[in-house]
Amino acid sequence: SLWPLPFATSCCGIEFMSTMSSDKDISRFGAERPSFSPRQSDLLIVLGTITHKMAPVLKRIYDQMAEPKWVISHGACASSGGIYNTYSVLQGIDHIIPVDLYLAGCPPRPEAYMDAFMELQRRIQNESLMKSRTEARHKLLAKA
């Protein structure tokens, strides 16, 4: 079971709240406990627009998480800057942290998030060598 850390900055965060309701029941996947401490979570969910001023905060939170850790880029703004093609908005969080899954939509529906969550669980289950995954992450971060 993954313990998600929601990093919500705009409307995607509001839509994400419905996944925690009894109607969607994310607890059946073992993720009913959102953690708001990076040291106690292993899944970072970035929800919404990230400005250049907020980017160092997001990077620091990612760095504080223990390995193994995963990242979901939730929505158009986190994935590509969305409709905000301006000097102040980061055009995708993958410029500062590695992303495991991109979730399309503005905002994505709760069902789409649950599909992405199950896909991430499948990927984690099929990972054979954690060492090679960690090395790939370090190479990506070294380029940044």
pLDDT in the model for residue 111: 85
* pLDDT, tens only, 70-129: 999 998 989 998 888 889 999 999 999 999 999 988 888 888 888 888 898 888 888 765
The per-residue pLDDT for 52 is 94
What per-residue confidence (pLDDT) applies to 14?
Answer: 81
- Band (pLDDT 50/70/90 cuts) for residue 61 is very high
The more confidently predicted of residues 74 and 136 is: 74
Cis? peptide before 98, omega within 30° of 0: no
Q: Is 34 exposed, middle or buried (0-12, 13-18, 19+ CB in 10 A)?
A: middle
pTM for the predicted model, two decimal places: 0.82
Residue carrying structure tokens 């996944």: 19
Residue with the larger pLDDT of the pair 69 and 130: 69
* Cβ burial 69-81 (10 Å sphere, 16+ → b, else e): bbbbbbbbbbbbb
2 versus 27: the higher-pLDDT residue is 2
